[in-house]
Amino acid sequence: MIRNSMERRRMEERLESCGRTTAAGNSSSHQSSASQVSNSSENSSFRLSFTPSKNRIVPAMVAAGMKTEQDKASFISFAEKGIDAVEAKLREGNRPIYNIPEISTMLVRNAFLVCCGEEFTERQRAGVLALFVDYYSHDDSFQKLSGQDLQKLYEADAITMILMANEYDEKTKTFSEKAKQLARKAAEVNLGSPIEKFKLTPDGIDFK
């Protein structure tokens, strides 16, 4: 099952990769079914969301590795605006923010679009969300993470999505190879296996 594959990707590995994926991406540029799943993630007795700290964490964490103050300030501004844009998109779809299953689903959905040219239906999106709700609810290492660690996961996924979107060519209507590399890495970190091993099904995703 997919969840068994995901369990092999420990939360510690995801946390360690937070800064790496976003730093690599910045090297050269800056109704009813869905509602039921959303309610289950919000009302679950398991911890799936976090209360954000006053300041965002990952933008400054990535910027700390940059050489010049100008580069640091530029990236932090880019990342902050990117996270704002992702949260605006979630609100637009009446989805909860600061929720890890939601941000993971959004990232995997974008990764399939970038790598495979396939767009999720609402039914497929709801199925993937249910998968993440189940996984995070029952993963002991995830449930032990601090709110700060959850915020890092959330921000890293949001920034990665903006970095991918930034690599879209309006003239050719295609994503760059760099965007595809980012999408593959991010999807594998979230799913535990390369995106090429998965296929879309009417109810979500499954192994080929």
pLDDT tens for each residue of the chain, 208 residues long: 455 545 544 445 555 555 555 555 554 444 333 343 444 444 445 789 999 999 999 999 999 999 999 999 999 999 999 999 999 999 999 999 999 999 999 999 999 999 999 999 999 999 999 999 999 998 888 999 999 999 999 999 999 999 999 999 999 999 999 999 999 999 999 998 999 999 999 999 999 8
Tell me if 122 sits within 8 A of 31, measured CB to CB: yes
Give the DSSP H or E segment for 36: helix 32-43
pTM, two decimals, is 0.82
Q: CA 161, CA 186: separation in Å to the nearest integer? A: 9
Provide the β-strand partners of residue 169.
Answer: 174
Return d(Cα 37, Cα 128) in angstroms, integer.
10
How far from the centroid of its chain's Cα atoms is residue 51's Cα?
Answer: 17
| Token couple for 198 | 């998965």
The model's pLDDT over 15-72, given as tens digits with 9 standing for 90+, comes to: 555 555 555 555 444 433 334 344 444 444 578 999 999 999 999 999 999 999 999 9
Element (H, E) at 19: helix 11-25
Residues 194, 5 contacting (CB under 8 angstroms): no
Domain ranges of the chain: 2-42+56-207
**Strand 174-175 and strand 198-201: pairing?**
unpaired
- At residue 47, the pLDDT reads 87
Cβ-based neighbour number of residue 206 at 10 Å = 14
Predicted confidence at residue 178, as pLDDT, reads 95
- Measured CA to CA in angstroms, residue 151 lies from 39, 157, 197, 205 at distances of 21, 10, 28, 26
CB 48 within 8 A of CB 101: yes
DSSP string, 142-190: HHT--HHHHHHHHHHHHHHHHHHHTTEETTTTEE-HHHHHHHHHHHHHH
SS3 assignment, position 2: helix
* Average pLDDT score over the chain: 85
